[in-house]
Amino acid sequence: MQMIKNCTAVILCGGKSSRMGFDKSLLQVEGEFVLLRTVKQLQKLFPKVLLVTDQRTKFPSVFSQVDIIEDHYVEKGPLGGLVTGLEEIETEYLFLLACDIPNVTVDLIRDLAYHLPDYQTILCKQNERLEPLFAFYHRSCLPIFQQQLQTRNWQITKEFHRFSKKIISLEQSTTLDNVNTPKELIFWN
């Protein structure tokens, strides 16, 4: 399988998981960490995969072969994790993924990557909603996101009007649905 060059995958693992009742980044299904399964999928596509977390010590030794960095902007939501990732990568692009999206598909990521390097941001729209936590971001987005961190509005899509972007529509889909409650755990299988 051909790698997506000049791009680093970054998985956000720092949320509070308050509706779930436990840290979603440490969820296990049938004795396997779901996050490790996701990392293995992404390693088929990207030369480097990073985890951005609020606390790197929460991960057990089974994660010792995974690059883990602490969020530089704790308490600023996914935007802080995205900025941390953009500050840390050495590649031109970053692929951002939330740790609570169970149905990561290599084919969909490849479909998005097809549009590199024509846009600063490449993302999906699912059921009329933009999905900024399953998207590609060019390094040139960093200064704008850093400025946004200084405001009280940390919604990632707030400054999207300033970027060249490609939006791939996934109408009537559940592909990128995330899992927030114990009832939704069935989607992890």
Is 177 part of any known ligand binding site? no
Is 5 part of any known ligand binding site? no
152, amino acid identity:
R
Is 118 part of any known ligand binding site? no
Is 81 part of any known ligand binding site? no
Considering only the C-alpha atoms of the chain, give the largest distance between any 2 of them, rounded to a whole number of Å.
44
Distance CA 156, CA 49 (A): 21
Distance CA 50, CA 133 (A): 14
Long-range contacts of 137-143, Cβ-Cβ distance < 8 Å, separation of 24 or more? 137/82, 137/86, 137/93, 137/94, 137/96, 138/92, 138/93, 138/163, 139/86, 139/89, 139/91, 139/92, 139/93, 139/94, 141/86, 142/83, 142/86, 142/87
Is 112 part of any known ligand binding site? no
Is 12 part of any known ligand binding site? yes
Task: Count the neighbouring beta carbons within 10 Å of the beta carbon of residue 21.
Answer: 9
Q: Is the dihedral of CA 26, 111, 80, 42 positive or negative?
A: positive
Distance CA 122, CA 95 (A): 9
Show binding-site residues for GTP.
12-14, 24, 71, 100
Show binding-site residues for Mg(2+).
100
Show binding-site residues.
12-14, 24, 71, 100
